[in-house]
Amino acid sequence: MPIRFASKPGLVAYLTAGDPDLSTTREIALSAIDAGADVIELGVPFSDPLADGPVIQRASERAVAGGTRLVDVLELAAELRVARPSAGLVIFSYYNPVLRFGIEKFCETAEKAGVDGVLVTDMIVEEADDYLVHLRRHHLAPIFLAAPTSPDERLKKIAEVSEGFVYAISRTGITGAQKNLTADAGQLVRRLRSYTNLPIAVGFGVSTAEHVAAVGEFADAAVVGSALVAIIEKSTSEEAPSSIARFIRGLRESPSLAGAAALAR
């Protein structure tokens, strides 16, 4: 199932798989899809998530402590694929768990599970030759990150090898909610546009309806991660799916309505 964004801006929802446990992640993912998320990024928890801020780091620690492994995340993906055939499914990981599992075995299992794409946050295009061979053999879209600090020649390479969408990092820094999106994001997306017709999703710091609306002005989709993980952290397992659904619906409302809804809560 190719990754596609039904309405503009599209919405990519990141969840750390296994936080607080795998069956709750499953329920949360289903309700996120039903509330309007086009793509679910299933985060593979890792002990040393150096690109992530404290919110996702804590979620990763909880999931690792709970024993969540890559193989469990792939099983979860397979269940989601059966339950929601048209949703986009992306595995988001650091490289070491994938390398340890075995890149070929990982791609084979992911393809069987019905995964659409793979994003490895510490995999850069120069190191990716072997990785790309395995992903392409199993029809998995390689999704790469583009950063505001990436010069044009790197953006060109990133655009050339990406499939599904290109993930534009909104600013220099680690994952985590912020008040205002910087001007970096718009500039980066404009520069990327000259190299690709793929959808461009903007992430890192996108956490409110205002942000999503702003991203919609210049990009195809918004990635929301830490804001969701923070809600899950504060909710009980029973509450989390409905809290996430409410939040995601709120992200698609007009900013003024979303503000009122937030006040009402």
Partner 1 sequence: MSTTTLPTQTVNIPGRFGAYGGRYVPETLMAALEELELAYAVAQADPAFHLELDSLLRDYAGRPTPLYFATRLTEELGGARIYLKREDLLHTGAHKINNCIGQGLLARRMGKKRIIAETGAGQHGVATATVCALFGMECVVYMGEEDMRRQELNVYRMRLLGAEVRGVNSGSRTLKDAINEAMRDWVTNVRTTHYLLGSVLGAHPYPTMVRDFHRVISKEMRGQILEKEGRLPNAVIACVGGGSNAIGAFYEFLGDENVRLIGVEAGGRGTTLGAHAVRFNGGGSPGVLQGTFSYVLQDEAGQIALTHSVSAGLDYASVGPEHAALHDSGRAEYVSASDADALDATVRLARTEGIIPALESAHAIAECLRVAPTLGRHEILVVNLSGRGDKDIGILSRELKLQGA
Contacts with partner 1 by CB under 8 A lie at 46-51, 53, 57, 61, 64, 69-70, 94-104, 121-124, 126-127, 129-131, 144-151, 154, 158, 169, 172-174
Which amino acid, 246? R
CB of 146 to partner 1, least distance (A): 6
When the beta carbons of 3 and 169 are compared against partner 1, the nearer one is 169
Of 19, 41, 72, 116, the active-site residue reads 41
When the beta carbons of 37 and 74 are compared against partner 1, the nearer one is 74
CB of 231 to partner 1, least distance (A): 22
Query: What does each C-alpha distance from 34 to 31, 38, 39, 81, 140 come to in angstroms?
Result: 5, 9, 11, 13, 24
CB of 161 to partner 1, least distance (A): 12
Of 19, 38, 52, 163, the active-site residue reads 52
Nearest to 198 by CA among 168, 175, 154, 223: 168
Neighbouring residues of 32: CB distance < 8 A, sequence distance ≥ 6: 13, 15, 40, 228, 244, 245, 248
How many C-beta atoms surround the C-beta of residue 115 within 10 A?
A: 27
Q: Measured on CA atoms in the order 245, 251, 257, 260, is the torsion positive or negative?
A: positive
Query: What does each C-alpha distance from 221 to 105, 199, 262 come to in angstroms?
Result: 31, 7, 22
CB of 158 to partner 1, least distance (A): 7
Q: For the chain, how big is the Rg over CA atoms in Å?
A: 17
When the beta carbons of 93 and 243 are compared against partner 1, the nearer one is 93
When the beta carbons of 50 and 262 are compared against partner 1, the nearer one is 50
- The question of whether 52 is a catalytic residue gets the answer yes
When the beta carbons of 10 and 205 are compared against partner 1, the nearer one is 205
CA angle 251, 177, 89 (to 5 degrees): 60
Q: What gap in Å lies between CA 140 and CA 143, rounded to an integer?
A: 9
Q: What gap in Å lies between CA 212 and CA 8, rounded to an integer?
A: 10
Q: What gap in Å lies between CA 41 and CA 223, rounded to an integer?
A: 9
- The question of whether 41 is a catalytic residue gets the answer yes
CB of 222 to partner 1, least distance (A): 19
Which residues are annotated as catalytic?
A: 41, 52
